[in-house]
Structure formats: C-alpha cells, structure tokens
Structure 1
Amino acid sequence: MTTERVIEAPPVDETRRRNVRLLSVLRWLAVGGQLATILTVHFVIGVQLPLVPMLGALAALVALNLAVLAWDRIGEDQLFAMLLVDVTCLTIQLYLSGGVGNPFVTLYLLQVVLAAVLLPPWSSWAMVAITSALFAWLGWAAPPFALPAGWGSTLSVPYVVVSWFNYTLAAMLLVQFVTQIVRNLSERDARLAALRQRAAEEEHIVRMGLLASGAAHELGTPLASIAVMLGDWRGEPAIARDPALLADLDDMRAEVMRCKNILSGILLASGEVRGNAPARTTVRTFLSRIVADWRGNGAAQAQYDHLMSGDPRIVADRALAQTITNLLDNAAEAGATAIRLCAAIDGDRLVLAVHDDGAGFAADILDGIGKPYLSTKDRRGAGLGLFLATNVLRTLGGTVMARNRADGGSEVTLVLPLASLAIGEDGG
C-alpha cells in the first residue's frame, strides 16, 4: 500500500505575504523603469521635465517598499492602500508629463488587474472607479506638455473622451473576468483539498479495516474455545445444582455470542463473509433488533420509533448496524438515560435519527464532524464513532449530520438512499 502525502495549502496570511513581496519586486521594477525613462527623456532627448516632483514621486515608492519590509502583518485594507499609493504616484508622473497624451497612461490597467487578483471584488471595482476618474481628470486638468518638433501631437476632445471610455470599458471587463477566474481557481483548490482530505481519511479507514479484520480472525479461535468450555461447565454437577451460577454462566455465554456476532460483523464489513449470508429483513425488524441487542451502561435505555407508514424490505447491512450501535454507545457514554432511534422516509431516502438527553457535543466536535480521534473522552481509540459513521454513510451514498438539541442532549441524523439497502422486485 502506498501512502499519499497530503500537502496543505499555506495559510492566508502567508499567501498574502508572498503576494506583497511580489508586489514589492514589481514596484522596484517600476521605479527603475520610470527613473531610466525620466533621465533619458530629460538628458538624452532634451525634453525638459520637472525633475524634482517626478523624482519625489519615485522616492515615495521607494519609501513605501522600505516600509513594507518592517510590517509584520498586512491585511486587505493595507494592501489596497499600497495600490492607491502606486496609483497616486503614477498619476503625478502622468500629470507632469502630458496627461492622457502620455502612452504610459495605460499602466492604470496594471493596478486594476493587481486589485482584481489580490483583493476582494469590492476593491477591484473601487480601483476601476478611481482610475477611471483620474483618467478623466488628467484629460481635463493636465497642463500642456511641450515636445520637440516631430515628437508631439495634439489630441482632440472627442479622441480623449473615446480613450477614456475605452479605458473604462477595458478595466471593467478585466475586473469581471479576472475576478471570475480567481474565484474558479479558489473553488478548484477547495475541491482538490477536500479530495485529498477524503483520500487520507479513506486510507485511514483501510488501515483500520485491515487491523480490525486481523484482530477478528485472531479473536475468533479463543472465543470459540471459551464457548466450548462454558458449554462443558454447564454439565458440571456443582454448577447444575446452583441456580445463581447457572444464571452467571448463561450471561457469560450470551456475552461470548455477542462478541462473536460483532467479529462476524467486522469481517463482513471488510468483505469477508463468515457464517450465514447477509440476511434479508425489513427496516423495522433490522432497527428494532439493533436496539434490542444493544446493552448500555445500565442507566441508559434505548427505544425504537418507527415513523414510516410502510416497512420496506432491505438487506441487513452489518456495517450500518455497527454504526448505529456505536452511536448508541456514544450517547450512553455522554450521560444519556433516554435514547431514541427514529426511522422515517423522505422521498427515496431513509432518515435515521438518534436522539438522547445527554451532555451534547462540544463546539469543536461539531465543527470537526467526520475527523478521527476527535472526542472529549481520554481513552485510546476514542473519537472514532462519528468518523466511522461518516465513512460508512459515504460508502452507502449518504451523509451524517450532528447537532445539539435546544431542550438538551444531542441528535445525530443519518440520511442514505433507500436503494442502497432495499431488495429489488426480483428479490435480489
């Protein structure tokens, strides 16, 4: 058997920290690119630029990157504020170098895409509104920018308006599709994480099944020997004359038979039929027998309530029977004195509910239904009842739900397709 290593996704804070580092690298590239462009235009091409305010905007970006290094925790609000600083510095550079006539005005789209990828949808749409408003403001308020002959051009008002409309439309489409893609990727990652978790749980069940099957085989022989010895003792004169000893002997034989039935159920659930073939029965007979055979801790009493008008014929599933027995045991161990097993039909589904008046479930157990070894009991092996119930019901195509009742106690509900147990019309 090969063991699959489950790789957990990094925490949200760690993922955001990585994104901030990548954003810092991008900001360093922007600072370097803008600095090279400003110096080239001013000193090589000979276009006079207002160096002090433009270099001041670059210094603000450098200061922001250095400040990020000292931040221990960066949330979504801080990340949005960082993008606003980037947009502000870009707006200053554009205002001082031609406004919407500057080809680098399309860099606003980069900020929109970053917001769509890194932040929630409201931040992305806010960034669209902000950059669109700044684009319109630059087209109206940016001062004329003198360029050498052959370098400059005059943009008409209709061209500027259409450019603004084109930018706004492109930004809105980018946000719409990028946020949807990010949402799809997040949902895919969540499904993959759930599949990995399920594979790990099923592997755990397989290991438990192998151990249980081996233990059942090993325990079968000594139990058979004990049953033979108890039968021999019953014929002893000293025991035959003592009614109390005979009663104790009968109780011991009943307990041995119960252990043998449990072992047979384990072997049957693991795919190894031992003894008689699976019995054909009805829902009422199957469930009432489980309750009748169950023995609590003395104070706990269990009863079966048949809430169905009919009594469907089924095959007695030993794994399901053991699951219900485990739930009854859990209720008794939680201090319950009155336990009810109720059966009802909802469409084509069989609904089984175990009610009790015990202590109920702790909040962490309700949050982790289906996880192994999650229990308030400190004995070894505790916490497997709901875990086994979840996996047995999953095999049958059903689900398990648990809750605390308003009037005290707890309720565990098993919902499974009746077809997974029912006998067909041909009797098969």
Structure 2
Amino acid sequence: MFGTIIRVESHAKAMKTASKDQEIIAAALALNAPFVGRLRSRTLVSSRWFALIGQFITVLVVHFGFGFELPLMACLLAIGANSALNLVITIGIAPQRLVRQWEAAAQLTIDTLQLAFLLFLTGGIQNPFCLLLIAPATIAASILRPLWTLSILAITIVCVAFLAVYSYPLPWRPAGSFSVPLLYQVSAAFGIIVGLLFTAGYAWRVSVEESRLADALIATQEVLAREQRLAALGGLAAAAAHELGTPLATIQVTAKEMLRSLPQASPDLEDAQLILTQAQRCREILRNLTDHRHEPDLVTDMVPLGQLLEEVTQRHPDLGHKALLFDIEGPEGKNELLVRRSPSILYGMGNMFENAIHYANQAVTVAASWNQQHVKVTIMDDGPGFDEAILDRLGEPYVTTNLAAGSVAPHREGMGLGFFIAKTLLERSGATISFWNHEGAKKGAVVEIHWPYSAIAAKSFA
C-alpha cells in the first residue's frame, strides 16, 4: 500500500487571476455578434407561407363552403399584402442568411398586425382563431433579445385588447345573430393575454438556457482544442529529437575526424572545433526535449497516477503560503496504477485544483485511491466551502465565482464557466463528479472524481 506523500510549497508570488484559457473563452463567446440572430431567413419565410396558405384556405372555406358572409375582398387583400412582402423577402434575402434581430422583429410585428386585422374583419375576440396571436410573440421570445420580445408582446396585448372591444360581427347565419356579452369578451381577452405571457415567458426561459449551454459548450471545445494543440507540439518535439539524432551524430563524428586529421597550425582547426561544439549542443537540446516529452498532453501517454497528479498541480505552481498535501493509496500488495493521460483529464482536474488553492486558508489535499472496480481522486481544501444555496447547481454554466458579499463567513458561490468546462471534460473521460462540504470542526470544500477502472486505467506495473 502506498502511504501518504506530503509536499509543502511556499512562493512569494500571488496566484495569477487571469489565464490564457479565459482569453480563449472570451474570444469564443465573442464570435456571436450581438446584432445577429439565431434564425435563418428560410425558416421565417417558410413558416409564413404555411400560415398564409392556411389563412387563404380558411377564408375560402368559411365564405364559400359554410356560406358565411365575410368581407372577402378585404380579407384577401390582407393576405395578399403579406404574401407580397414574403415574396420580396424570399427574393431579396438569401435563404441561408441569419436574420438580424431587428429584421426578425419587424417581420413578426407585421405578422401580428396582419393577423389582428384579419380577426378584426371576422369577429375579433369571438373568433376561435384569435389564439393564433400567441404564435408570433412565442417565436419572438425564443429567438430575439428581451427588448425586441417585449415590444412584440406589447403590440400583441394592444391588439388583443382592441379586438375585445372593436371588431366586425362574427360571420353567422343569419348575419349578426351571434352575440357574446362584453364581459365575456373582456374575460376571453384577459385569458389570451395570460396565456400569451406564460407561453412567451416559458419559451424565453428555455431559449436562454439553451443559448447559455451552447455558448458554454463552444468555450469547452475551444479550451480542449488548445490543450490538444499543446499535445501535438509535444509529439512534434519528440519526433524532431528522434529524426535529428542520426544526422547530428554523423556531423559530430565527422567533426572529430577533421580535428584528428588537421595539423595544429591549420586555419580550419578552429572551424572544426566550432562545428563539434555546436553539434554537441544540439544533441544536448534534443536530449532535453526527449527527457521532457512527458509534459505534452498526448492522449496515448501512460503515466503513474501519482505522476499524473503531480503534473496537474505543477501547472499551478503559485501556492503562496499554502501547503499542498498528497495522499495516494492503492490495494495492499499491488503495483502502482498506470493511467491514461489526456488533455481533458489534465485540464479538468487542474481547474478544480486551482479553485481549491484560491479558496484554501492553509492547505489543499489531493487524495487518490483505486481498486479493480474504480479509481477515485479527491481534492479538498480548508476554506469556507461551497455556498449551500448553490451547491446543487454546481456544474451549470455561468454560476459566478465571487464570494457571497456581506456574510460573516463568506462562502464560495460557484465555479462559473470554467468549472462547467472542467466538469464537462472530465465527464467525457468517463468520470462522475460530486461535491460537498466537510461538516463539524473540519471545514472546507470537497470535490470527488470517480472513474470506472476501465475508463482511465492502462495497466498495473512493477
């Protein structure tokens, strides 16, 4: 069994708060310009054609099929005007182009007003198709920014209120025989408005969550891509060391032969000595590259678990006055575990270790254990611990990292986007992550990372 390994490090430097990863995340999230929407022109155009065809068929069936008297020309003109607008959009805007926010808002506003005008001609709030007024506002809530959505909601509410009081009579036989009390019409309008607000609010909430998750996943891919590029550089360095070793050895041997064959008074003696010295220097550089080839994040690398944890902590060397403790234990009589080494594991555990160092008071403990079923790594600090209010939400994107202000004993509010990225990368490696706080006299936060043995273990070795 491997006993406890303790290392205490002290540095004068304060921990750096800005990192290259934060710059990458900011650049990734800045790719989406604020004025560009998430909906293509073709989607709005095709949906509008579907609605207009439905309106046209409905008007004809009601007027000619059921024999109800409608202001037919006015209804067809309203449908024709919106059809002409849709045709202009179809011709003038490329179907694959993302519609800008103001363009989508303008089109949905026109759709709302056109539908309200049709309802005004055909009975107002008494018309059962009045529920369709909810559709444009719901679409706006799911694709537009709050300001544009609120403007469309306001227009829709005004239209519903107007239709509750003013409209042509509902087509019926005999004409004008169907009448609904004003109180009922107002109540129906109120119900539509409540349904409108609920549906739009629900659509907006779902859209915000989806958008945040999508942005966070983009940032995750950017960070992982950077780690993989660093890994590729390590592979190239090792390959260069291997390929250049043979020609450098040839140059070195040739330079030695030149030194032996040249007389002491020869003017070329100094040049031969320089060639030999520089060849030896090059071989020394290549030897250093070969000795440090474990530093790159090659997915196919296999290292002892203890060495993997050492490398994770060495990426964040500025501990200040805080101690770093290792506790690595394996099964009795078994060899040390050899594990797969990947950028996702290194980055994920490194992010959690960095947060532990940031919030620790005196020490951070990195513990590891394994058996034939699972491998477990635990990162513990003696800081204030996780805020109980958000403990169940850890791992969600955009949970802030600030300490709760105004508290006698400040707690950690969350790990933000960086923690989400770390958790996502570790879960992709097959890990399960859980968090809790120490109870009783021993305070601090605990992050436990658990892998199935087959997900991370390469083999055991002597």
Counterpart CA distance in 1 for 2:44 and 2:323 is 52
Partner of 2:69: 48
Partner of 2:159: 134
Counterpart CA distance in 1 for 2:253 and 2:111 is 86
Partner of 1:173: 198
189-198 or 150-159, larger mean C-alpha shift? 150-159
Partner of 1:193: 218
User: Is residue 217 of structure 1 aligned with residue 242 of structure 2?
Assistant: yes
Task: Check whether the contact 1:128–1:168 (CA below 8 A) recurs between aligned residues.
Answer: no
Task: Check whether the contact 1:216–1:263 (CA below 8 A) recurs between aligned residues.
Answer: yes
Query: Aligned to 2:180, what secondary structure does the other structure show?
Result: coil
| Structure with greater helix percent | 1
Which residue of the other structure, out of 287, 293, 304, is the alignment partner of 1:264? 287
Matches for 1:116-155 after TM superposition, within 5 Å: 116-145=141-170, 147-148=172-173, 154-155=179-180
Distance 1:246 1:46, change over 3 A: closer
Which residue of the other structure, out of 328, 339, 350, is the alignment partner of 1:397? 350
Offset of 1:58 from its aligned partner?
0.6
Task: Check whether the contact 1:396–1:416 (CA below 8 A) recurs between aligned residues.
Answer: no
Offset of 1:213 from its aligned partner?
1.4
Partner of 2:207: 182
Which residue of the other structure, out of 47, 52, 65, is the alignment partner of 1:31? 52
Distance 1:316 1:21, change over 3 A: closer
Query: Aligned to 2:109, what secondary structure does the other structure show?
Result: helix
Report sequence identity in percent: 28
Query: Aligned to 1:397, what secondary structure does the other structure show?
Result: helix
Q: Which runs of 5+ in 2 are unaligned?
A: 1-30, 296-309, 325-342, 367-462
Offset of 1:103 from its aligned partner?
0.6
Partner of 1:59: 80
Offset of 1:115 from its aligned partner?
1.0
Counterpart CA distance in 1 for 2:280 and 2:356 is 30
Amino acid across the alignment from 1:157 = L
User: Is residue 21 of structure 1 aligned with residue 32 of structure 2?
Assistant: no
Query: Aligned to 2:350, what secondary structure does the other structure show?
Result: coil
Amino acid across the alignment from 1:264 = R
Offset of 1:219 from its aligned partner?
2.8
User: Is residue 111 of structure 1 aligned with residue 132 of structure 2?
Assistant: no
Distance 1:140 1:251, change over 3 A: same
Offset of 1:69 from its aligned partner?
2.1
Distance 1:154 1:268, change over 3 A: farther
Distance 1:208 1:151, change over 3 A: farther
Distance 1:33 1:347, change over 3 A: farther
Offset of 1:263 from its aligned partner?
1.6
Q: Deviations over 1:227-283 (max 9, x none)?
A: 6777788889965x99x9779948963x445433422332233239xxxxxxxxxxx
Counterpart CA distance in 2 for 1:237 and 1:61 is 95
Query: Aligned to 1:48, what secondary structure does the other structure show?
Result: coil
Distance 1:416 1:44, change over 3 A: closer
Distance 1:19 1:153, change over 3 A: farther
Offset of 1:193 from its aligned partner?
3.3
Q: Deviations over 1:298-332 (max 9, x none)?
A: xxxxxxxxxxxxxxxxx899x98xxxxxxxxxxxx
Q: Deviations over 1:74-103 (max 9, x none)?
A: 532222111121111111111111110111
Counterpart CA distance in 1 for 2:320 and 2:184 is 65
Task: Check whether the contact 2:141–2:200 (CA below 8 A) recurs between aligned residues.
Answer: yes
Which residue of the other structure, out of 184, 190, 212, is the alignment partner of 1:159? 184
User: Is residue 93 of structure 1 aligned with residue 93 of structure 2?
Assistant: no
Q: Which runs of 5+ in 1 are unaligned?
A: 1-9, 273-314, 321-342, 351-389, 399-414
Q: Deviations over 1:147-167 (max 9, x none)?
A: 226997543334333323322
Counterpart CA distance in 2 for 1:182 and 1:195 is 20
Counterpart CA distance in 2 for 1:56 and 1:137 is 21
Task: Check whether the contact 1:212–1:266 (CA below 8 A) recurs between aligned residues.
Answer: yes
Task: Check whether the contact 2:41–2:93 (CA below 8 A) recurs between aligned residues.
Answer: no
Amino acid across the alignment from 1:24 = V
Counterpart CA distance in 2 for 1:198 and 1:171 is 41
User: Is residue 81 of structure 1 aligned with residue 106 of structure 2?
Assistant: yes
Matches for 1:305-384 after TM superposition, within 5 Å: none
Counterpart CA distance in 2 for 1:77 and 1:349 is 55
Distance 1:103 1:12, change over 3 A: farther
Q: Deviations over 1:390-419 (max 9, x none)?
A: 99x959937xxxxxxxxxxxxxxxx99799
Q: Deviations over 1:180-219 (max 9, x none)?
A: 2222222333333344445555554444433321221233
Partner of 2:331: none
Counterpart CA distance in 1 for 2:229 and 2:71 is 69
Task: Check whether the contact 1:19–1:118 (CA below 8 A) recurs between aligned residues.
Answer: no
TM-score in terms of structure 2 length: 0.51
Between Structure 1 and Structure 2, whose CA radius of gyration is higher?
Answer: 1
Distance 1:238 1:186, change over 3 A: same
Structure number with higher relative contact order (C-alpha < 8 Å, ≥ 6 residues apart) = 2
TM-score in terms of structure 1 length: 0.54
Offset of 1:24 from its aligned partner?
1.7
